A and B are shown apart, each in its own frame.
Chain A
């Protein structure tokens, strides 16, 4: 085990890693520091100097948002859209993947190829026909429209993740329940779905973050409505503020605070969600 011992070379390696880590930390430090500066010269003159007197008022100014909406509105819209979309993705996605994997055969292989294809398609190409389609249905600028969009756009990822997990899940429990005379639907919700929990966790984390952080889709499909999500509200706020960096930074800090808290408490699950998702 010689190369696991702490040698002077290990110390040098540790120092260089800490140094690169400091570079990664700078944006976080600036974010908090500038967001507490009273404005004017202090913002530009000395970005690394702590504020003479922390201006917490920046945060309440930022909270009010802009014409697009307040940050509070953005939070509510983002939360509604994210949670409901993830709920439907889990229910519909797991059912779809379960059917594809357990039925097997040529139909399954075709469907797997189809969903894998959907995994890499960029959203841009379909955006215009999709906009026309949504407009026809009167779903532009609505929560239900956004939820429908995300459930459709992320269905391939969800099916892909569940299918990968289901492949390595032996059907023994299902067979046992079947012999006992349980109906397929009952078997799925009572036996299979609880066994899918690790995959459900990955789906919830990956899809939840993609939806929460998305900017392009709500910019186009919610633009100008009163349901703007957090990124759209921030975009509108910055457009109106120009170079009032202390207020902009307070808004950015507020908007990413839930993600930071989530990250601190669920770091392991998050990393497992990403790497586990890729393993599948």
Chain B
């Protein structure tokens, strides 16, 4: 059963924190205790907490500070307040990368979810080839994004197979250097993202579908409901938890995408496929504008947190409602 409902289930509600009365405090007649405190010592969280704070939380807080400074990486940094942010909102390059991030994010979320759900429903129990085709769709999920992106870089070359296919169809007028086109470069990255990650959405939807009791669907069918009606009124509502997980996963994934862009277009031509993630990298590690890069990174982080927060809030609301 998918996830989001789990925290509302009785097992987990009682599992956290509570313990049976028979803990270490039950007096054991005449026996001396031979060891120290019997509860799990808080001390055990120290290594995990320490490494997470040192590697993740402290640098993020410190990075947020640099977003309000001018700093070249060496020497002292200068506090400039919101200056970096006003620079971002007057810099067409940075605004472009923000716009591309949002465009790519929404397009990927819609396509990966619609296609992923269609594949999960389409590859239902009746198909003879279902196991093989499911495996085929899922395989790219585990492969190195950087390495597989080069296959697509070749496909999109001017002399590559995509143009060859178009010319075989008599569509020579559409042929072009896809990666070098300001209009198309961003969408070549979308194609790679869809190919690589739709399989993950598909298996999450498959798991969600399998959790729906077949009797429910059959009962509706016996009552004479059409298959489209059953999908809308029975399947979709039951899939809500899986849909929510997928929406968040795909959105967060698309917002952070970096490897594929570096392999395919390197953000080009002239920044036409730059996103916040690549722009942060260029400003900090190529141009040494640390303060400005940190401000861009903070913007990206806020974007991700808003979307993840909205999802968590919705899940909490959903669980409260279904717990009633």
Contact = CB atoms under 8 A, between A and B. Distances in A.
Interface stretch (B87-95, B148-156, B173-181, B316-324): B148-156
Contacts of A111: 45, 49
A102 B139 contact: no
A30 B151 contact: yes
A96 B44 contact: yes
Question: Would you call the interface of chain B mostly helix, strand, loop, or mixed?
Answer: helix
Contacts of A31: 151
A175 to B, nearest CB: 6
A155 B46 CA distance: 12
B111 interface: no
A26 to B, nearest CB: 8
Interface in B116-170: 119, 122-123, 125-130, 132-133, 135-148, 150-152, 154-155, 157, 159-161, 164
A119 B11 CA distance: 24
A104 B3 contact: no
A128 B16 contact: no
Contacts of A230: 144
Contact of B54 (A100, A121, A133, A248): A133
Interface stretch (B78-86, B102-110, B182-190, B250-258): B250-258
B128 A167 contact: no
Contacts, number: 312
Contact of B52 (A14, A152, A271): A152
A63 interface: no
B60 A126 contact: yes
A132 B284 CA distance: 13
Given A18-B129, A156-B56, A99 B146 contact: no
Contacts of B195: 24, 27
A243 B157 CA distance: 10
A28 B24 CA distance: 59
A148 B161 contact: no
Interface in B224-280: 227, 245, 249, 252, 255-256, 258-259, 262-263, 277, 280
Contacts of B48: 92-93, 95-96, 155, 159
A144 to B, nearest CB: 13
B66 interface: yes
B262 to A, nearest CB: 8
Contacts of A114: 52, 57
B29 to A, nearest CB: 13
Contacts of B293: 128
B55 A256 contact: no
Interface in A80-118: 92-93, 95-96, 98-105, 107-108, 111, 114-116, 118
Contacts of B135: 263, 267
Interface residues of A, number: 110
Nearest to B127: A14
Contacts of A56: none
B256 A99 contact: no
B20 A252 contact: no
Contacts of A151: 51, 55
Contacts of B281: 124, 216
Nearest to A277: B3
A188 B22 CA distance: 18
Interface string A152-180: 11011001000010111111100100110
* Most chain A CB within a 10 A radius of its CB, from B16, B145, B155: B16
Contacts of A3: 126, 217, 221, 227
Contacts of B157: 44, 243
A125 B221 contact: no
Contacts of A152: 51-52, 54-56
B200 interface: yes
Nearest to A95: B44
Contact of A249 (B41, B154, B245, B256): B154
B8 interface: no
Given A128-B290, A151-B51, A275-B203, A120 B155 contact: no
A115 B49 CA distance: 9
Contact of A262 (B142, B148, B249, B256): B142
A136 to B, nearest CB: 12
Given A127-B284, A148-B51, A122 B255 contact: yes
A10 to B, nearest CB: 5
A89 B45 CA distance: 13
B51 A279 contact: no
Given A10-B126, A96-B48, 4 more contacts: A27-B155, A95-B47, A156-B52, A209-B142
Nearest 10 CB-CB pairings of A with B: A104-B17, A152-B55, A96-B48, A126-B59, A129-B62, A125-B297, A130-B59, A129-B59, A124-B297, A120-B308
11 contacts: A13-B127, A17-B119, A92-B47, A99-B44, A125-B59, A125-B297, A133-B58, A151-B51, A153-B56, A213-B143, A234-B150
